[in-house]
A and B are shown apart, each in its own frame.
Chain A
Amino acid sequence: MAISTLDGQKIWQRRDRDVQLKIWAMWLVGTAIFMWCWQQISEATTWAFFWDAPRIAADIGGRAMPPRWSYMDKLWSPLWDTLNIATLGTVMALMMAVPVAFMAARNTTPSALFVRPIALLIIVSSRSINSLIWALLLVKILGPGVFAGLIAISIRSIGFCAKLLYEAIEEIDESQVEAITATGASRWQVMAYGIVPQIMPAFAGIAVFRWDINLRESTVLGLVGAGGIGLQLQGSLNTLAWPQVSLILLVILLAVVVSEWVSAKVRGAII
């Protein structure tokens, strides 16, 4: 804090002069970098395509309208697959995430020296790779289809769920745990009575949130052959069947809106 004396009067300012100058300098450098990047991108852009873009977009938009409603018959089954990938993937991920979370949380880990780093490694490696990339890999390993998508979604979700869950475990009120321990309860009873009730709202919130995300992610998995509605999207894009593309996009939009609504309802009911 900057307190100085001027004519015997104490002056208070938020920052003193040195700090203020440093902040100005940082803004200056930041702005310069931004302008330079802008210029680089501008030079690398073929402006003819850019100016052409609205016309092309309007053209595609025109061809895509109206959506080909009759194509819907062929979409029900992949849509069902997509829903299954998201739901089963989330359930499988949660089953694996719960033990990982307990091993990763500082207050419940069996060993902070050996087990916790392994649990954290599982979390980081699962989170660092996008589900589309997992799907690419798994399609090669397991062959194309719904199963590869299911595994991709669940592997990707383990880290996310475990991370949020272990943070919730670390934030519990320890006095409740202490009270249960003091009754002579066993380790597992302490978990079931002292810890689980405290993390239930977080668990439910994480589960529906991740399900919601997984529904969106599973719509694109078909692009790499891992089943679901994305397969139809890719097929339609490749054959330039724009009315089908617009219908698929519309269906995906609706599915996402419905999932938003469901997860909001579930979260509201629990918390």
Chain B
Amino acid sequence: MLRLDKLTKVYKTGDKALNAVDLEVPKGQVLALIGPSGAGKSTLIRCINRLVEPTSGTVQLGDVELTGLGLGGLRKERRRMGMIFQEYALVERLTVMENVLSGRLGYVGFWRSFLRKFPQSDVDEAFRLLDRVGLVEMADKRADELSGGQRQRVGICRALIQNPSVLLVDEPTASLDPKTSRQIMRLIVELCEERKLAAIVNIHDVALAQMFVSRIVGLKLGTMVFDGAPADLTEEVLTRIYGDEDWSETIQKVDDDDEVDAA
């Protein structure tokens, strides 16, 4: 589905952000990418949709090699990759509806989008998605009137209305409180299941990652140092990824957590 092959990124400053990363994400799999700040997590997902231009290596989505595409071809393929951001990255002065519909920009011509004349099918889909995330009555509010959790839901709708086959999720919960964080993570995972979407989720919160995803990849200084199931994430592995620290409290028994959740 999504395959990275020896993906490398060296910034102009000489910093090697990614070091020959090989990764394959099958259809429908939600993968959490963990690692300390500066490990290259953000760079990795931005190299996939080429918001950051990779230095070498290839990215393949389906049978299309993204790294070889020209500008027009890249725009077409970007429509298949929905992106969700840390600080939501909504256009603050536009309404919720406009923000959601902006996910269709790749499908709609300039003047139609400029005059906000989106096809009715897009508007229908926008309402359906807003209804799904419970924000349908907010459609006409300006994005900056919403709370953090609500904004991130709008961000999710914007990504999904693209009808993507993969979601690139950059720290979706970093600016949210613990409860909202869980709700947002649960929503993302549920939606990926519903639509059989592959997803790469960058995340700081190891416990949260373990709670929701089926596969965890650890990145350290641009190199992959772990790839396995949440249950395999031992103290020894965390030390390998993050360095020495007492990790005994971080690793949560998955079933314990479900109980807390249910309560």
A residues sitting closer than 8 Å to B (CB atoms) are: 173, 175-176, 178-186, 188-189, 192-194, 197-198, 200-201
Contacts and interface: CB of A to CB of B under 8 A. Distances in A.
A178 B162 contact: no
B113 A200 contact: no
A180 B78 contact: no
Interface string B64-83: 00000000000111110101
Given A175-B85, A192-B110, A183 B162 contact: yes
A186 B110 contact: yes
Contacts of A173: 92
30 contacts: A175-B87, A176-B92, A178-B85, A179-B85, A179-B155, A180-B91, A181-B51, A181-B78, A182-B49, A182-B51, A182-B81, A183-B79, A183-B83, A183-B102, A183-B103, A183-B104, A183-B105, A183-B106, A183-B158, A184-B78, A184-B106, A185-B113, A186-B75, A189-B110, A193-B91, A197-B91, A197-B94, A198-B91, A200-B93, A201-B93
Given A175-B89, A193-B94, A197-B94, A182 B83 contact: yes
A185 B93 CA distance: 18
Contacts of B47: none
B97 interface: no
Contacts of B83: 179, 182-183
Contacts of B156: none
Sorting the interface of chain B by its residue count into under 10, 10 to 19, 20 to 34 or 35 or more gives 20 to 34
A-B residue pairs, 4 tightest by C-beta: A184-B106, A185-B105, A184-B78, A179-B89
Contact of B90 (A179, A182, A185, A186): A179
B89 A176 contact: yes
Contacts of B87: 175
Nearest to B103: A183
A176 B106 CA distance: 16
A185 B106 contact: yes
A180 B102 contact: yes
Given A176-B89, A183-B106, 17 more contacts: A175-B85, A180-B102, A181-B78, A182-B49, A182-B78, A182-B81, A183-B78, A183-B83, A183-B103, A183-B158, A184-B76, A185-B75, A185-B113, A189-B114, A193-B102, A193-B113, A197-B91
B102 A185 contact: yes
B110 A198 contact: no
Contacts of A175: 85, 87, 89
Given A184-B162, A185-B106, A189-B110, A194 B91 contact: yes
B50 to A, nearest CB: 10
A184 to B, nearest CB: 3
Interface in B155-201: 155, 158, 162, 168
B111 to A, nearest CB: 10
A184 B105 contact: yes
A193 B162 CA distance: 16
A189 B105 contact: yes
Contacts of A193: 91, 94, 98, 102, 105, 113
A173 B158 CA distance: 18
Nearest to B74: A184
B90 A176 contact: yes
A1 B209 CA distance: 47
Nearest to B114: A192
A139 to B, nearest CB: 41
A108 B257 CA distance: 48
Interface centre among A188, A189, A200 (most CB of B within 10 A): A189
B92 A180 contact: no
